[in-house]
Structure 1
């Protein structure tokens, strides 16, 4: 009985030590050397979308776009700024050929100005990044929908590519007006939105990023 109790006590201590070690490892964020970064290059920026699609995650429905572009310029090239102050302003926005298998064609209104910001230090030339001030409106199957928020992702300097994160992007449905049509397609305020595909900057010179 004493041996069994001792084994149980030892096992409990090992579990506790493991739990504490795991907590310390997961609770300690990776070191970040800088608080600022400097964008340069451009100054023109032309982000051309490939395979762009917006997915309402709870209902699993995607609106895919044949083209989706964002154009503008580097903001104050060569000037250092704190994370996540924007590096690029994108006032010229356009999408076309957007549709859903069930809902048919969808025309989006893209409200400027979107901005692209770096949010932390790079790893291997890939920077954590974010599109901010995003606002997309459209009428889907008679339901007027508005999607707002941010799109979290990464910017790979070598490829000149912004890629949204998988899953919830930071966008969500902020309005769904239309009564019965909105009920029919099951879109609701608060639905998180995933963004598929990526955007590539085709303007030259390319965007350059450095610390600090």
Structure 2
């Protein structure tokens, strides 16, 4: 009986050790799932064509034939948590930006934009966001600042980022007597459509 009890206790101890070992091995693996690693660089470009910014409440659109940003990849081959940026974009080249009412429109960066993967990759597609978007928009007789971020999907097999959502808003009181004629006011939301080709960047998990 004593030997049987000893064997039972030994078996229980071995089982507990095995469970503890599995937990210890599983925890870092689970933590790593919440990370991603950008590869490429050092230069990374965001090449946009037929990008449309729409001030939703005012029903006004700004369509750009070309809307390109360029900058650098930060920490290539270094794993980081989802939501942490992988790029700094501080140069903008645009052309053919127009509004049906105001005509030609100009955009100037007022900050450094970023790009972040926000969730795990499925196949070659990762949820992502263009972050820290900040720019000054000027047209004939009206100007204002835009701020927020653009969410979407990044397919690193095709290098295409496709917007699916936006938190962009008119960030200040529009300046110019004609702004009110089309209904521009501070706080109005701005949607984004079109697509960007991101060159010099691929993603892996973790």
Question: For residues 171-186 of structure 1, what are the structure 2 equivalents within 5 Å?
Answer: 171-178=168-175, 180-186=177-183
**Conserved in 2, the CA contact under 8 Å of 1:176 and 1:182?**
no
Moved more, 98-107 or 138-147: 138-147
1:69 equivalent in structure 2: 68
Which residue is 1:95 aligned to?
Answer: 94
Tell me whether 1:170 sits opposite 2:164 in the alignment: no
Question: Aligned-pair distance for 1:180?
Answer: 3.2
How far apart, CA to CA, are the structure 2 residues paired with 1:194 and 1:32?
34
Does the residue aligned with 2:33 lie in a helix, a strand or coil?
coil
Q: Which runs of 5+ in 1 are unaligned?
A: 1-30
Do the aligned partners of 1:143 and 1:176 also contact (CA within 8 Å) in 2? Answer: no
Paired residue secondary structure (1:184): helix
Higher deviation after alignment, 92-101 or 146-155: 92-101
Summarize deviations over 1:87-132 as a string: whole Å, max 9, x none. 1111222222211111111111122311000011112211110111
The structure having more radius of gyration, on CA atoms, is 2
Q: TM-score, normalised by structure 2?
A: 0.80
How many pairs does the alignment contain?
177
Q: Which runs of 4+ in 1 moved over 3 A?
A: none
Structure 2: gaps (5+ residues): 1-29
- Any idea what the Cα deviations from partners look like across 1:42-85, whole Å, max 9, x if unmatched? 22212211111100111221101121111112111111101110
- Paired residue for 1:121? 120
Question: What RMSD over aligned residues (CA atoms) do the two structures have, in Å?
Answer: 1.9
TM-score under structure 1 length normalisation: 0.78
1:192 corresponds to? 189
Tell me which residue corresponds to 2:143: 144
Q: Does 1:161 align with 2:160?
A: yes
